[in-house]
Structure 1
Amino acid sequence: MTAIRSVLFYLLSYVTTAVMVLVGIPVALASRRALALYARAWARILAAYARTVLGVRLKLEGTMPEGPVLYAAKHESAYETLLLLALIEDPVIVLKREIADVPLFGKLTRRHGVIPVDRSASSAALRAMLTAADEAKAQNRPVLIFPEGTRVPRGQRPKLQAGFAGLYGRLGLPVVPVATDAGLAWPRGFLKRPGTVRIRFGEVIPAGMPRKEIEAEVHSAINALND
């Protein structure tokens, strides 16, 4: 049954995404704000598939503040990516440059608002990231980053990537750490399991902290459900 549910979920997700990417082109031409609402609807549709087809339920903990903040989230699966896009109001998302360069889909992500990250870590890549951060700050929008850099299996706690501290300093925004245990129901690989996923919004961490302190606090907070 788990395999059948997973196959059905992926079929529905791929078809829905393909259709919405095509329809998203004229939406993007209409306005950036319209595309942001459209992307949020897409994320909510896929989250509904996860709930009804896979039996993956959501339990939210903590409070989401109003206004622009820097959300720093644990990344164990695609599930929290969808949920945070559905929950956060009009976020600018920090993501790998390879995704932003995908034909059609990448153009839509750039129109929506992203901060592409080049893993080469060159000085030019860092300057490009900070320039994109300045644009996000000027738009007065929240920013979402997965500071450990990539999806990790349940239980792993890699150190934060260097780009997080640079982004934190450049944006000058308070940080909301986001912990999750999504890897229990949504492990890497094809098969997903029914269950309840917790997403916890932690206490707001103020802007302007020294690098070592902010990294330590964020790393601890986003791994709060990892024990």
Structure 2
Amino acid sequence: MIFLRSLLFNAVFFAVTLVLSLYGFVLRFVAPHRLIDDARLWSRIMIASARLICGIHVRVRGLENLPPGQPVLIASQHQSAFDTMVWFGLASYPVYVLKKQLLKIPVFGPLLPLTGMIPVDREGGVTSLRNLVSASMEAASLNRQIVIFPEGTRTDPGVEVPLHPGIYAVASKTGLPIVPVTTNSGLFWGRRAFRKYPGTINVDIHPPLSPGSRAVTMEALRSLYHRAGNDIATFVHTSERAVDKSVV
């Protein structure tokens, strides 16, 4: 049953992404300011499809820590494709920091800069960091909420990786508060995983980090991610697997 549901969901995912990307391709010429609405529609359809087809529900806690209309740095864990879409529905005017390779995706990729997304070159060093800071300052001036994944790439639940300090550089230059976000999305929607498992994805939005040095700030963020990893490990251990056995 899970295989068939996953097959249907993946088919819907690619079909909807293709159709809305083609629609966005038209919008770029006639109404480019509507591209962000196209992205929001894509997000709503995919999250609803995950719920209806795969039994994946979403529980958001701490939304009061994300003031609408105010620019912030959303420092989110990154475990699955879910994390790249959910903020179109939660943030008031989101912009994602993403790897520049995504710009090469046919039809879809060229639309990303037109919606204000910020591509970064992971191998670009200081130049890439300067470009990130500059683009973030511009986004902040438009009251956009910037989504950045300090882990750098999708990681498995409970796995700790060194955090990229670029987020601190952006915060120190822009003066924006860092709002940490932890999640368990990878338990049900794994990275590069075909199967999607029923359950509840938690998105926990924590209070902004207190201003401090780079070492203090990054340690505070790492500590939050670490505690979230421990919670996931405890959940998996007590349930033997984060899957509703009754629907397997």
* TM-score of Structure 1 vs Structure 2, range by shorter chain: over 0.9
| Equivalence for 2:139 | 136
The answer to whether the 8 Å contact 2:99/2:120 transfers is: yes
Cα pair distance change 1:31/1:141, threshold 3 Å:
farther
SS across alignment from 1:226: helix
CA distance in 2 between partners of 1:209 and 1:111 (Å) = 34
AA partner of residue 133 (structure 2): L
Write out aligned runs for 1:142-153 (5 A).
142-153=145-156
CA distance in 1 between partners of 2:220 and 2:28 (Å) = 38
**Once the 2 structures are TM-superposed, how far is the Cα of residue 133 of structure 1 from its aligned partner?**
1.7
Larger radius of gyration: 2
CA distance in 1 between partners of 2:71 and 2:227 (Å) = 23
CA distance in 2 between partners of 1:118 and 1:149 (Å) = 11
Question: Is 1:42 equivalent to 2:23 in the alignment?
Answer: no
SS across alignment from 2:86: helix
| Equivalence for 2:67 | 65
The answer to whether the 8 Å contact 1:179/1:224 transfers is: no
- Deviation string, structure 1 residues 25-75 (Cα, Å, up to 9, x no partner): 232334444111221111110011110011101111112322111100011
| Equivalence for 2:243 | none
Cα pair distance change 1:43/1:60, threshold 3 Å:
same
| Equivalence for 2:194 | 190
| Equivalence for 2:161 | 158
The answer to whether the 8 Å contact 1:154/1:184 transfers is: yes
4+ long deviations beyond 6 Å: none
TM-score (norm. length: structure 2):
0.85
**Once the 2 structures are TM-superposed, how far is the Cα of residue 24 of structure 1 from its aligned partner?**
0.7
CA distance in 2 between partners of 1:2 and 1:47 (Å) = 17
Identical aligned residues as a percent: 35
Deviates more, 1:140-149 or 1:163-172: 163-172
The answer to whether the 8 Å contact 1:133/1:170 transfers is: no
- Deviation string, structure 1 residues 151-195 (Cα, Å, up to 9, x no partner): 101111112113222222222101111110112111232111111
Structure 2 unaligned blocks of 5 or more: 231-248
Deviates more, 1:50-59 or 1:197-206: 197-206
TM-score (norm. length: structure 1):
0.93
Among candidates 200, 203, 214, match of residue 199 of structure 1: 203
CA distance in 1 between partners of 2:176 and 2:204 (Å) = 19
In the alignment of these two chains, the number of paired residues is: 226
Among candidates 176, 179, 187, match of residue 176 of structure 1: 179
| Equivalence for 2:234 | none
| Equivalence for 1:51 | 51
RMSD, aligned CA: 1.6
SS across alignment from 2:57: strand
Structure 1 unaligned blocks of 5 or more: none
Write out aligned runs for 1:117-136 (5 A).
117-136=120-139
